[in-house]
Structure 1
C-alpha cells in the first residue's frame, strides 16, 4: 500500500495558493484530493498526492519557493498530537529524537535520521512515496518546517551551518535567503540540515514536567493503536472521495498504489468487502448530515455520491427504516 500523510501537511495551502494567483480547489481535485478535507487535519491522504500537488502548484504559479512559503507558516500544532509531546521535551536532543522516531505519525513517506559526529549534528531527510515523482517541493517543505521548529527552540537568531538540497538553486532565491540566510546550499549530496552538536543540549525553557507526563500518555495511547489496517485506510479514502463523485474501488486502489484485486483480497482477509465499508461509511455520514438542517436532501445525496436524491432516499429507507425527512423531523 502507498504511504499516507496527514492533511495537516497542506496547512495554509489554500491561502498561499491564492496569494500567488492560482486556484487551489481545482489543483487539489486534479490530484484526487477533496478540498473539504482541509478542515480535518488529522485525516490521512496519499503522500504522493501531496507531493504532486506541491509540484503542480509551484509550476503553475511560477514560484519555485511555493513549499517554502508554506513552511514559513508551520507551527507545532501542525504535527498533530506529536507536536504536544515535542513541545514539552526538556531539550532539543530529546525533541528531535521523538520527531525522528515517530515520523510515521505525521507522514508515512518521510524518512529522517540524525547523526552526531565530530561536533556536528546532521538530520537527513528522504521520501518513499511508493512511486516515482518529483520531490523538490516536498523536500523544501520538510526542511523549511524542520528549520522553523529548531528556531522555535533555539531562538530567532539561530542559524544552522548548512541547509542542503540535492536540487539546483531556484531562479529567484530571495525567499530562501530570507528563511535560511546564507546557509542554503544547492546541488548537494543529500537533503538535510547540519548544525553544531552543542545546540542539541540547549534546554527547552517552555517545557513543563507535569505536562510532559500527560503528553507521553497521549503518545503511548496512539502507539498502542498499532499499524493502520487496510480496512481503515479504505474507510478514510471513501470519506475523502465520496464528495468528489469519484468513489470507486478502482480509485481507492489507485490511491493505495495497488490493483482492485489486492484491495478485495486484503479486505476479505479482514472479513470485509468494499461494498460493506462503503455502505457503513455512508450510513455514518448520512446520520450526521441528515440531522444537520443546513444541508438539503439534494446536497446530501451529492455529498454521499448518489446519482439522484431518489436513489439516496431509497437507500436511506432500506438502511434506517424511514425516509430522510422523517429521520430529520423526529430529531
Structure 2
C-alpha cells in the first residue's frame, strides 16, 4: 500500500510558487493533485505525488532550495490536531516522543528516530514515498531531495518553537549532494550543514531535550492526553521496516546483534525471528540488505575511506569488509569506487 501524507504538507505552497514566479495550479494538476483540496489540509494524498510536485517545482523555478524555503514557512500547527498535544508536553523530550510515536497520523512516509550518545542527540530523518500514480517526471522512482529538505527544515522549525528562534543545531547532515548555492541552507539551518553525509538528520546537544516547554499549560495537559489516547496506534506489524531502521542506527556502534535489535523493539530473539518470517525474511537477510544499500552509497562517496566504510558497516577489519563486498557486488570496493568516481 502506498504511504499517504496530509495536504497540510503543502501549506503555503501557493504563496511560495507565486514568489518564485511559477504556476502552482498547473504544477499540481500535472502530478494528479487537486488544487482545491489545499483548502482541506486533513485530506490524505499519496506521498509520492507530493514528492514529485516539489521536485517539479524546484526544476520549474530554478530553485534548488525550494523544499527548504517551504519548510521556512512551517509552523507547529501544520501537524494538525497532534500539534495541540505536542504543545502541552512538559519538555522537548516528551514533545519529540509524541511527534515520533504518532508520525503516522500526519505523514505515513516519514521516518524519524532519536538516539543519544556522548551528550549529543541525533534525529535521523528518512522518507519512503513509493511511486506516484500520475506525474510528469519519467524517472523509475521519485527523487525525494526536496521532500527530505522540507522534512528536515520543518523539524528544525518545530524544535525552534520550543527552544527559541535563535536556536541552531550542532550540525545538519544530508545524504544527497550539495546544491550549487548553499546560502539558504546555512541561513535556515545554521553554518554546520554537511552534504554527502552518511545519513540525513539533525544533531544537537542532548540537554536541549530536557528544556522546559514554555508553551505548555498544566491545566490543559490532561485534555491533550485524553485526545492523544483516542488516536490510532501505529501498525505494530511493521516490524520489518523498524528492524531495518534499527540496524542502520546500530551498525556503526558494533552492537548490531539480533538480540540487541529485538530488545530495542521490545521483543525477545525468538519473537523477532517469527515476525520477520511472516514477511519471508530472516534477520541475516535484512542485515545484509541494509549493509548492501549503505555500502553502495558510502563507498561511492569520496569523503569516506574504505576503512571508514568498514567501521560504519560494523566490520572488524577492512579485509573482512572487502571480502563481503566482493561477494555482494562481484568486484572489490576499490574497483567500485573507481568506477563511480570515473
Pairwise TM-score range, normalised by the shorter structure: 0.5 to 0.7
- The separation in 2 between residues aligned to 1:52 and 1:127, in whole angstroms, is 13
Do 1:6 and 1:107's aligned partners in 2 also have CA atoms closer than 8 Å? yes
* DSSP-derived class of the 1:209 partner: coil
The partner residue of 1:205 within 214, 218, 234 is 214
* DSSP-derived class of the 1:223 partner: coil
Q: Which has the larger radius of gyration?
A: 1
- The separation in 2 between residues aligned to 1:224 and 1:117, in whole angstroms, is 28
Q: How much does 1:19 deviate? A: 0.6
| TM-score normalized with structure 2 length | 0.64
The partner residue of 1:148 within 150, 157, 170 is 157
1:173 aligns with 2:173: no
**Structure-2 residue corresponding to 1:49:** 49
Structure 2 CA distance for partners of 1:224 and 1:165, relative to 1, 3 Å: closer
- The separation in 2 between residues aligned to 1:174 and 1:224, in whole angstroms, is 40
**Structure-2 residue corresponding to 1:187:** 196
- The separation in 2 between residues aligned to 1:152 and 1:107, in whole angstroms, is 20
| Structure 2 unaligned spans of 5+ | 132-140, 237-342
Q: How much does 1:130 deviate? A: 2.5
RMSD (CA atoms): 1.5
**Structure-2 residue corresponding to 1:68:** 68
**Structure-2 residue corresponding to 1:160:** 169
**Structure-2 residue corresponding to 1:16:** 16
Q: Within 5 A, what are the aligned runs for 1:55-134?
A: 55-131=55-131, 132-134=141-143
Do 1:112 and 1:124's aligned partners in 2 also have CA atoms closer than 8 Å? yes
| Structure 1 unaligned spans of 5+ | 228-331
Q: How much does 1:222 deviate? A: 2.5
- The separation in 1 between residues aligned to 2:56 and 2:130, in whole angstroms, is 19
Deviations 1:74-132 (A, max 9, x none): 11110001111111110000001111111101100111110011111000011112243
Q: How much does 1:152 deviate? A: 1.1
Do 2:163 and 2:211's aligned partners in 1 also have CA atoms closer than 8 Å? yes
* DSSP-derived class of the 1:139 partner: helix
Q: How much does 1:183 deviate? A: 1.8
- The separation in 2 between residues aligned to 1:7 and 1:130, in whole angstroms, is 17
Q: How many residues align?
A: 227
Structure 2 CA distance for partners of 1:22 and 1:196, relative to 1, 3 Å: same
* DSSP-derived class of the 2:231 partner: helix
Do 1:81 and 1:219's aligned partners in 2 also have CA atoms closer than 8 Å? no
Do 2:57 and 2:66's aligned partners in 1 also have CA atoms closer than 8 Å? yes
Structure 2 CA distance for partners of 1:34 and 1:162, relative to 1, 3 Å: same
